[in-house]
Structure 1
């Protein structure tokens, strides 16, 4: 991080005015951080070649940088200073480790660059607020992952809520259980450029900070800002079989109830203990909507009418809650194929959304206010001991518009 610190000192003496976007229809971007998730972003760049132009990549690890650059054929910058001194780069994709997000974002903002950060925006809501305030003071735009709320499956679910398919919504559940990953053969999980899944970082950051955003963003887009959070978290399996042992493992289980305006309540569960289950369900007075996998843009959305008669309730008990569900038509076909290791999400849709918002002067759907809000709620879920119970959420955001093709 010495290079980043030195660059920050130099940029304090520079003009803080934001660098303008590259002339023409495409926005010049640079990837900072070439770790495991960077391959998922890079894989989907081709879907946005009319809007995004990758200028180059950088990582503080020379071997990792060389492997990523060789895999994708991208220009490798020699330093972060070189990235932020390149006038072609208007938007920085901060794909570093979670504990480095705030520091790298701050340096990029000081250099007058717009930033799209991997989640979380900061490891605390205080960090996230500081990034938001710095971006506004510098006149640059800031947004953060996850972007699955922009995907076809989430947009299909959202349209069903808006159009009243399930009637008046009262309750929502999100399961983000990944199974006992520490017992899986994760040491063989490699990205396309050869980066092994960063187990130590994942276990120390915590499954809630890593995954809760996939549910919180969808629920917040549908129902508005979270007003209160009542949560519990615990470290159930301290020994994650790492070598050496983890000095500070994060909670591996959390559960929280999120209260929204209008009386809607959502329960969000995160763990790397319970068996794999990523269902999102929304319960209305006319029935239940279900999205089986929020990480998959092609995941079907199903609706099952409420069981109110004696026979239908008996069938539900005998055959399960999925009995009689019908698949809803997606808002549009998913514009990419998966398989052979390809990601089931379009990770580049978030950066493309930010770039288009900057280019057209509109509000970004994943803007800094939304990112701060998601960070605050996530911190309340993972670390309820830091807040009152129930915790009152201080952040808010303006209403988010569905995608144009999903209206």
Structure 2
């Protein structure tokens, strides 16, 4: 069975909710490598709205989609509690799977999916793929080149403000889907967002070895239109890597919006303000050593330093209703790796590792303190254009 149409890998989407429009909006960026065979959603109205908006073929059932001749990759964009069952069904049908984050809602669930994929001889990967973007690759290249010397410490914030107070009912996707507030609150901001930073750090510094974390539900009443059982809305964890590197990662939907990532080395600090903006700048600020430098640093703490040159221009620009990151870049890298019979940067080991670390952050009560990380992950290669 061929998995290619010409030089393009055939993919199909399961789940036509809010995030599916973001993925679909990026398909034109990969017209030379990906062919969308069609889409499916268990909600007929949602499926009809999506196909009406984008003009895609609609499958009548999940079974019909999985039986599609020549289909190589199932792109699982269902809600988080359905990630595992849909992925398991696709694996059983002999399809490779790229899943939206998280791969599973527990480390055990993610690990069992990897074992099922291995047994079936198919590949598995999961978002987020922002490590493949221009900003992240620029940051990683600066670290590799020794721009700040030996790295000692990382500060990462993923605070989104009080989302439940925001006018999120007006956050509508292109096909008319409302932002899934209730699902987001029940999954938890840590499971939704921590992977954007953890993936970057694992790529740069290798696997996380130990996690010490605290999480809490600070605002139980999220003022939703229907009852919800929210997960912790705040977490703070210390991630320990080889070489003595420690990262402090904070997630919340309570504190004011702040997505800064700062990598502190002996010679300075590398900073990004938004880790899922591919076009965002990476800035370098040298360590203050003289009395004058330290005085300037105290008086003007907002000074971010000079911009680090990117290895290439960003091939697209987000904003004005369009995503600021190429959501399909991970799918493309995964599909290209399958077609070329080479290892993928976005592989199952990475997805399982990110899931284990994230569960430790959101549910530290399930683990000893500090918690040793048991999953392993191989070294990731930079993108060829960023070497």
The normalised TM-score by structure 1 is: 0.94
User: Does 1:351 find its partner at 2:335?
Assistant: no
1:97-148 Cα deviation digits (max 9, x unpaired): 0010000000000000000000000000001001101111111111000000
* Distance across 2 between alignment mates of 1:20 and 1:366: 22
* Distance across 2 between alignment mates of 1:209 and 1:360: 32
> Displacement of 1:218 after TM fit?
0.1
* Distance across 1 between alignment mates of 2:155 and 2:201: 10
What's 1:132 paired with? 114
User: Does 1:149 find its partner at 2:137?
Assistant: no
User: Does 1:238 find its partner at 2:208?
Assistant: no
What's 2:280 paired with? 299
Secondary structure of the equivalent of 1:140? Answer: coil
* Distance across 2 between alignment mates of 1:284 and 1:223: 13
Query: Which range is displaced more, 147-156 or 324-333?
Result: 324-333
What's 2:92 paired with? 110
The within-5 A match list for 1:57-136 is 57-136=39-118
What's 2:269 paired with? 288
The within-5 A match list for 1:164-313 is 164-246=146-228, 248-313=229-294
* Distance across 2 between alignment mates of 1:297 and 1:331: 12
What's 2:354 paired with? 374
Q: Does the CA contact (< 8 Å) of 1:209 and 1:382 recur in 2?
A: yes
What's 2:370 paired with? 390
> Displacement of 1:366 after TM fit?
1.1
* Distance across 2 between alignment mates of 1:323 and 1:296: 20
* Distance across 2 between alignment mates of 1:165 and 1:206: 35
Q: How many residues align?
A: 387
User: Does 1:364 find its partner at 2:369?
Assistant: no
Tell me how large the CA RMSD over aligned residues is: 0.9
* Distance across 1 between alignment mates of 2:170 and 2:71: 35
Q: Does the CA contact (< 8 Å) of 1:121 and 1:375 recur in 2?
A: yes
Q: Does the CA contact (< 8 Å) of 1:57 and 1:77 recur in 2?
A: yes
Structure 2 unmatched runs, 5+ = none
What's 1:334 paired with? 314
* Distance across 2 between alignment mates of 1:262 and 1:238: 39
* Distance across 2 between alignment mates of 1:267 and 1:393: 16
Q: Does the CA contact (< 8 Å) of 1:239 and 1:245 recur in 2?
A: no
What's 1:325 paired with? 305
* Distance across 2 between alignment mates of 1:79 and 1:324: 52
> Displacement of 1:331 after TM fit?
1.5
Runs of 4+ that moved beyond 4 A: none
